[in-house]
Chains A and B, each alone.
Chain A
Amino acid sequence: MKEYKEKLKTTRVILAIAVLILFAFTVLSVLSECGVIHFAPVAGDGHWQSRWRGFICGASVGIGAMILVGLIRISKAMGDEKELKKLYVKENDERQRQIYISARSLAMQIFVIFGLVAGIVVGYFNVTVSITVLACVTIHSLIGLMCKLYYSRKY
Chain B
Amino acid sequence: MCSMKTRIKELRKQHKLSQEELAEAVGTTRQTITSIEVGKYIASLPLAYKIAHHFGLTIEEVFDFSDLED
State the CA gap A94–B23 with chains docked (Å): 12
* Pair A98/B29 contact, Cβ less than 8 Å: no
Min CB–CB distance B50 → chain A (angstroms): 11
User: Is B35 among interface residues, defined by CB-CB distance under 8 A?
Assistant: yes
Interface size counted on chain B using CB atoms at 8 A: 12
Question: Interface size class for chain A?
Answer: under 10
Contacts of A95 in B (CB 8 A): 28-29, 31-32, 35, 41
Contacts of B41 in A (CB 8 A): 95, 98
Query: Is the contact region of chain A dominated by helix, strand, or loop, or is it mixed?
Result: helix
State the CA gap A94–B35 with chains docked (Å): 12
State the CA gap A117–B23 with chains docked (Å): 45
Contacts of A92 in B (CB 8 A): 27
Q: Which residues, 1 to 54 on B, are CB-close (under 8 Å) to A?
A: 23-24, 27-29, 31-32, 35, 41, 43-44, 47
**Which of B24, B29, B47 has the most chain A CB within a 10 Å cutoff?**
B29
Measured CB to CB, the residues of A under 8 A from B are: 89-90, 92-96, 98
Measured CB to CB, the residues of B under 8 A from A are: 23-24, 27-29, 31-32, 35, 41, 43-44, 47
What are 13 A-B contacts defined by CB distance under 8 Å? Answer: A89-B23, A89-B24, A89-B29, A90-B29, A92-B27, A94-B28, A94-B43, A94-B47, A95-B29, A95-B32, A95-B41, A96-B29, A98-B41
Additional pairs, 15, CB under 8 Å, beyond known A89-B28, A94-B44: A89-B23, A89-B27, A89-B29, A90-B29, A92-B27, A93-B31, A93-B32, A94-B28, A94-B32, A94-B47, A95-B31, A95-B32, A95-B41, A96-B29, A96-B32
